[in-house]
Amino acid sequence: MIHGPSLAIGAAIASIAIIIAFVGFDGISSQTELVIEPAPTVQQVGPAKITMNTFLANGSPLLGNPSAPVTLIEFGDYQCHFCNVFFHSTEGDILKNYVETGKVKIIFKDYNIIGPDSVSASYGAHCAKDQGAFWEYHDILYSNWTGENNGWASSENLGKFANEIGLDMDVWTQCMLDGTHSQTILASNEDAKSLGITGTPAFFVIDSDGKTTKLFGAQPYDTFEKVFENALQK
């Protein structure tokens, strides 16, 4: 059963999503060409204002050992087809071989380019974060993905997901209604645009010296393995 208040969040979430959707995200939802490119240079000064915070701030809690020498940043959209492909085909091996072994830590950042439900899903995850369950909610979202803009991430379903992972529904619902994490989500989207990201998923691998490598698309595990191993040689 869904806790009563969760059924009332639809209109509020929709209004929040519409406001954010009209900010003007100019990315594309499906990038078929998978490429590795040099990442934008970190700048201490200058008009681009790209700093380490552009990569590290406004995202999820760290997944993995905070002292891991390599950081993987993923910019994703919960409705994105290729983000879902990455989650099911590649992320598990990265977790097993690099995160659980203390070599890599992961941060997920929002880039909402598919539609209003993408924004609502981001709110759901961040409100789960307040209860220490960001990654559980992140996982249940991708585990229930059925397509883009087809209703699977509706406000009612987001409430069901929160209930399924055992969240305090009163607290989660109030967070959704209040739009508590609107600035974080907006700032993450601005970070994505400042980094020149044009689709999701997009990844940045940062080694211990701060050197970054950019990967576009649902890259296979072997690609990540090569980049990680190179970064770990530092």
Angstrom CA distances, 1 to 4, 24, 157, 162, stand at: 9, 37, 12, 11
Mean pLDDT of 148-168: 96
Between 140 and 2, whose confidence is greater? Answer: 140
Q: Which domains does the chain have, with CATH numbers?
A: 4-232 (3.40.30.10)
Residue 162 pLDDT class (50, 70, 90 cuts): very high
Q: Given 3-state DSSP classes, what are the helix, strand and coil percentages for the chain, each rounded to the nearest 5?
A: 45, 15, 40
Contact between residue 89 and residue 223 where contact means Cβ atoms under 8 Å apart: no
Between 175 and 42, whose confidence is greater? Answer: 175
Q: Residue 204's pLDDT is what?
A: 95
pLDDT tens for 3-13 read 233 333 333 33
Burial 196-224 (b: 16+ CB within 10 A, else e): ebebbbbbbbbbeeeebbbbbbbbeeebb
Q: Residue 49's pLDDT is what?
A: 67
What is the pTM (predicted TM-score) of this model?
Answer: 0.80
pLDDT tens for 57-84 read 999 999 999 999 999 999 999 999 999 9
Q: Residue 152's pLDDT is what?
A: 95
Q: Residue 18's pLDDT is what?
A: 29
Between 32 and 184, whose confidence is greater? Answer: 184
Has residue 233 got a pLDDT over 70?
yes
Mean pLDDT of 134-150: 97
Backbone dihedral angles phi then psi of residue 199, each to the nearest 5 degrees: -170, 170
Residue 51 pLDDT class (50, 70, 90 cuts): confident
Show the CA angle centred on residue 106, arms to residues 151 and 210, nearest 5°: 130
